[in-house]
Amino acid sequence: MNLTVWKFPRAWGWRRFLLRLFGATVGNRAIFLATTKVMHPWLLEIGEYSTVGPGVTIYNLGRVTIGAHTVISQDSYICAGTHDYTVSYLPLQRVGIVIGTGVWIAARAFVGPGVRIGDNSVIGACAVVARDVPEAVVVAGNPARVLKPRVMNETPEASLADQ
């Protein structure tokens, strides 16, 4: 389902409605920008206050679960399908993806089939994530590897007070 039909920049409620109409489980404050593509809405679950940026493709042949307070930045590709290359006729494999709460997937990152990204992790720009990512780490590169722990310099209460 290509959500570009709704090009109005802040038509988030309409996009949530449309995704739910086709079977997605969408948190009430989730934001999908105008050029987001979701292939199979009935295989998508996304939590509260999560944002899916412009040009993001969620190629969810398998179930894709995205936690709350997660950001998927522009032009990222979430791919929950592949083929078994060990068989001559390349049968389709529908392998789900789980993206935790508080995750940031930076611009143009690729998340491959079967990957689990732990809560509060950061995926660097243009990273290729082919293996599970633990909680609260920063990963980058091709293939993505852990660079360092993600250390939070503030409490959630302090960040809300600044707003």
| Regions in the chain scoring below 50 on pLDDT | 5
- Domain ranges in the chain are 3-161
Which two three-digit tokens encode residue 129?
């994530």
Which two three-digit tokens encode residue 138?
């920063």
Residue among 77, 161, 57 nearest 123 (CA): 77
Q: Looking at residue 25, what is its pLDDT?
A: 97
Q: Looking at residue 5, what is its pLDDT?
A: 47
Identify residue 148 by its one-letter amino acid code: K
Q: Looking at residue 159, what is its pLDDT?
A: 57
Query: Distance between CA 62 and CA 80 in Å, rounded?
Result: 5
Q: Looking at residue 10, what is its pLDDT?
A: 76
Q: Looking at residue 34, what is its pLDDT?
A: 85
pLDDT tens digits, 80-117:
999 999 999 999 999 999 999 999 999 999 999 999 99
Q: Looking at residue 152, what is its pLDDT?
A: 85
Q: Which fold has domain 3-161?
A: UDP N-Acetylglucosamine Acyltransferase; domain 1 (2.160.10)
Q: Looking at residue 4, what is its pLDDT?
A: 52
Q: Which residues contact 41 (CB under 8 A, 6 or more apart)?
A: 1, 19, 22, 23, 24
Query: Distance between CA 95 and CA 62 in Å, rounded?
Result: 5
Alpha helices in the chain (DSSP H): 12-21, 156-161
